[in-house]
A and B are shown apart, each in its own frame.
Chain A
């Protein structure tokens, strides 16, 4: 697989070390915020992330990833931090977002960096996954369905479960990749506007795990997005959300609209998808305000599903700014 950085996965695999094997008895991050402790959202930014006139600098992005992950888990080294996320022997699923195609999908350089760190933490079996093979290919990922190591495929490959998963307002067939292949999920959404749901980040990215997302966009995706994230097979496997904000889009999403993107040069990381989405939403609102655009609320597309995800029926995290600890690194 060749990524936007120009590095190839083959080269990466050759050069990556054998990795540091983690202990099987490690503590894991609680993917939900709790009412007694603040949810931490780490925002890492690097103004020098991009080389002049080219893409993201892979070394700087890896360094940024390390800083944000270490800050998320209060660990001194990247390896210690990554061991909080998954353990050796687990199959880890990287849920990228490729709907907008080549121009605006989860950055391949970021995916490479995460794979590198996972492998160094002893995680050998990694699946890069999105809704369709064609989505992945449009974002320059190369399909690799078989074998050990790093695989890459969409729902086309294994299809969906036969039995409906019913949760609140949702009745959907779940991706077999999620239910049968993967033990842990690292969610890699984008930071972007969405013409129907307001924004699309961590919570909405799991529409890619169900067979009928088209049925759940009305009413701004509320309460559907929150309900999808309540499905046990999804909820129990999520370990971390790393939002790719190297480039962000404040209007015109989900398709790529370059005139409304800006180089945020950053990552947002949190185990709490609600806190992450709330924080990302505020970033988009600030950007809209800076350039004189109406807020999403004024445009009648405030992402109300974020509040639903935090309510007493869901408790997927917190959208209370007083309960969110934003850490800038």
Chain B
């Protein structure tokens, strides 16, 4: 079964090496192998996946304006938005992917990656088809850049997901692999169902979301990891097909609302790897979000439309981390390089290892009651 990667974060490493290098279980759930369609292979009738969408405005002549993400697609009757999973039918806007799961796995939470949110636990992870951007380096384009009817899917209503998470001793449901913003209604309903059985929710997103839905989301979930694709509008325009500013705004909103948040920055050789960009990013994080937001610089692996570029050199990742450290950020990591010392968490005060990691495996853990066991320095995060 194909292993989907968490958006932008854990690239070639998990697909190629995860099963070989870790002993943690990664259990395929629900739909089995969910490869790309050889025709129309949807396994369930379409009607059960269709719900009226939230966040849209009706316009004259049966047009609608989607208000879910900053793109604000104006969509004619019988047409879909950029994401490909929301459709205008006679002037009413529908999501086509409620409960329409294309892949589900049980992953270590570190694979998302969340390093400061319930480390060592397993996350029941799921996705539907679709995405509201089109990153040229997408690791999961076979599910994110297709329409729901172009991939196999299975019907998995929120209560079923909550029950499966509970049965499999997963304290977290993770919405990941593609872009959960585009299956917003399903994510919100699932988060509610999961909370009812004591299971928390973690979102892995590109952060390209409008403010209203984001604020409501923050009231319903427990952690959000944002894939910040770059710190330049040019990169967002040319490589992501999106915009940087709304993503930065979303990060500020998430932080203001007290949501646990981590940031992944996939370092793409020659495109977003300059000192200037790393420094600008680190300074922005320090000034707008604070020193305690974990920042993961992850290694890129050539995929999708950027197969012409090499993997990120380790030296580049270490340079990025050094710049983040120099700006005073407390938790700067290197991702997708298993065994690198910068996978572990260090106490910002005494500099001793408080969470030891190798790949997705947690070794020693020296945090008690949210504090460093050695010097009692609070370590930001959600530890229990």
Q: Chain A interface (Cβ within 8 Å of chain B)?
A: 99-101, 156-160, 162, 164, 166, 171, 195, 211-212, 214-215, 217-218, 252-255, 257
Task: Identify the closest chain A residue to B146 (Cβ).
Answer: A211
Contacting pair A255 B62 (CB below 8 A): yes
Judge if B81 is at the interface, Cβ distance under 8 Å. Answer: yes
Q: Tell me whether B150 and A160 are in contact (CB under 8 A).
A: yes
A160 in complex: contacting residue of B37, B79, B80, B241, CB < 8 Å: B37
Best-buried of A101, A162, A212 by chain B (most CB within 10 Å): A212
The minimal Cβ–Cβ distance linking B213 to chain A, given in whole angstroms, is 20
B99-129: which have CB < 8 Å to A?
none
Interface string of B124-151 (1 = CB under 8 A from A): 0000000000101000010001110110
Q: A159-B40, A164-B305 are in contact. List 6 more A-B contacts (CB 8 A).
A: A212-B147, A214-B83, A214-B147, A215-B145, A215-B241, A255-B61
B134 touches A215 (CB 8 A): yes
A159 with B82: CB separation less than 8 A: no
Known: A162-B36, A195-B76, A214-B83. Contact between A252 and B145, CB under 8 A?
no
Residues of B close to A158: CB separation below 8 A: 39
Whether, in the assembled complex, B270 has its beta carbon less than 8 Å from a beta carbon of chain A, the answer is no
In angstroms, Cα B60 to Cα A257, docked, is: 12
Does the CB pair B74–A156 fall under 8 Å?
no
Query: A195: which B residues are within 8 A, CB to CB?
Result: 63, 74, 76
Q: Top 9 A-B pairs ranked by shortest CB distance?
A: A159-B39, A156-B40, A214-B84, A255-B77, A171-B305, A255-B76, A159-B38, A215-B134, A159-B37
Enumerate chain B residues within 8 angstroms of A212, measured Cβ to Cβ: 84, 134, 145-147
Chain A residue at minimum C-beta to C-beta distance from B85 = A214
The size of the chain B interface, using a CB distance under 8 A, is: 30
A269-B197 Cα distance, complex, nearest whole Å: 64
Indicate if the CB atoms of A254 and B76 lie closer than 8 Å. yes
B284 touches A (CB below 8 Å): no
Known contacts A160-B37, A255-B78: A166-B62 contact under CB 8 Å: no
Q: How far is the CB of A222 from chain B (nearest CB, A)?
A: 14
CB <8 Å contact, A218 and B241: yes
6 A-B interface contacts by CB (under 8 A): A158-B39, A160-B37, A218-B241, A254-B79, A255-B61, A255-B62
Q: Does the CB pair B61–A252 fall under 8 Å?
A: yes
Question: Within the assembled complex, what's the spacing in Å between the Cα atoms of A160 and B81?
Answer: 21
Q: Which residues of A contact B61 (CB under 8 A)?
A: 252, 255, 257
Question: Closest chain A residue to B77 by CB distance?
Answer: A255
B60: nearest chain-A partner, CB-CB: A252
Which of B286-305 touch A at CB < 8 Å? 304-305
CB nearest to A254 among chain B residues: B76
- Kindly state the separation between the CA atoms of A157 and B349 in the bound complex, as whole angstroms: 62
Chain B CB within 10 Å, residue with most, of A160, A164, A171, A214: A214
CA distance A252 to B60 in the complex (A): 11
Query: Contact at B82–A215, with CB atoms within 8 Å?
Result: yes
Q: Is the interface of A mostly helix, strand, loop or mixed?
A: loop
Q: How far is the CA of A271 from the CA of B299 in the complex (A)?
A: 48
The docked-state distance in angstroms from the alpha carbon of A211 to that of B134 is 14
A217 contact set on B, CB distance < 8 A: 82
Chain B residues whose CB sits within 8 angstroms of the CB of A101 once the complex forms: 78
Give residues of chain B (57-80) contacting chain A, Cβ–Cβ below 8 Å.
Answer: 61-63, 74, 76-80
Q: What is the chain A residue whose CB lies nearest that of B145?
A: A212
A56 to B202, CA, bound (A): 58
A214 touches B81 (CB 8 A): yes
Tell me how far the C-beta of A326 lies from the nearest C-beta in chain B, rounded to whole angstroms: 30
Q: Which residues of B contact A214 (CB under 8 A)?
A: 80-84, 147
Chain B residue, CB-CB nearest to A171: B305
Q: How far is the CA of A160 from the CA of B40 in the complex (A)?
A: 10
Encoded as 1 (CB less than 8 Å from any A CB) or 0, chain B from 24 to 54 comes to: 0000000000001111110000000000000
From A99, A158, A159, residue with most partner B Cβ within 10 Å = A159
In the assembly, what is the distance between CA of A295 and CA of B150, in Å? 38
Shortest CB–CB separation between residue A24 and chain B, in angstroms? 33
B128 to chain A, nearest CB (A): 15
Given contacts A156-B39, A159-B38, A162-B36, contact A211 B150 (CB under 8 A): yes
> How distant is the Cα of A218 from the Cα of B79 in the complex, in angstroms?
14
CB proximity of A230 to chain B, nearest CB, Å: 16
Residues of B within 8 A of A159 (CB): 37-41, 150
- Pair A100/B78 contact, Cβ less than 8 Å: yes
On chain B, the residues within 8 Å of A160 by CB distance are 36-37, 150
Q: Assess whether A156 is in contact with B149, with CB atoms less than 8 Å apart.
A: yes
A211 to B150, CA, bound (A): 8
Please, which residues of chain B bring their CB within 8 A of the CB of A171? Answer: 136, 141, 304-305
Q: Give the residues in chain B near A99, CB-CB below 8 Å.
A: 78-79
The smallest C-beta distance from B45 to any residue of chain A, in angstroms, reads 14
Bound state CA distance, A214 and B78, in angstroms?
Answer: 12
* Nearest CB on B from A309, distance (A): 21
> How far is A99 from B78 in the complex, measured between Cα atoms in Å?
8
Bound Cα distance A257, B77 (Å):
10
Q: With a CB–CB cut-off of 8 A, which chain A residues contact B78?
A: 99-101, 255
What is the minimal beta-carbon distance from A81 to any residue of chain B, in angstroms? Answer: 35
Looking at the assembled complex, report how far the CB atom of B69 sits from the nearest CB atom of chain A, in whole angstroms: 13
Q: Smallest CB-CB separation from B136: which chain A residue?
A: A171
CB–CB A157/B39 < 8 A = yes
Task: Tell me the nearest residue of chain A to B42, going by C-beta.
Answer: A156
Contact residues in A for B74 (Cβ distance below 8 Å): 195
Do B147 and A211 touch (CB < 8 A)?
A: yes
Give chain B nearest CB distance to A262 CB in angstroms: 18
CA distance A214 to B147 in the complex (A): 9
Hey, which chain B residues are within 8 Å of A100, CB to CB?
78
B305 touches A166 (CB 8 A): yes
Q: Which residue of chain B has the shortest Cβ distance to A259 in the bound complex?
A: B61
B94 to chain A, nearest CB (A): 15
Q: Provide the B149-178 mask, 1 if CB < 8 A to any CB of A, else 0.
A: 110000000000000000000000000000
Contacts of B146 in A (CB 8 A): 211-212
Shortest A329–chain B CB gap in Å is: 34
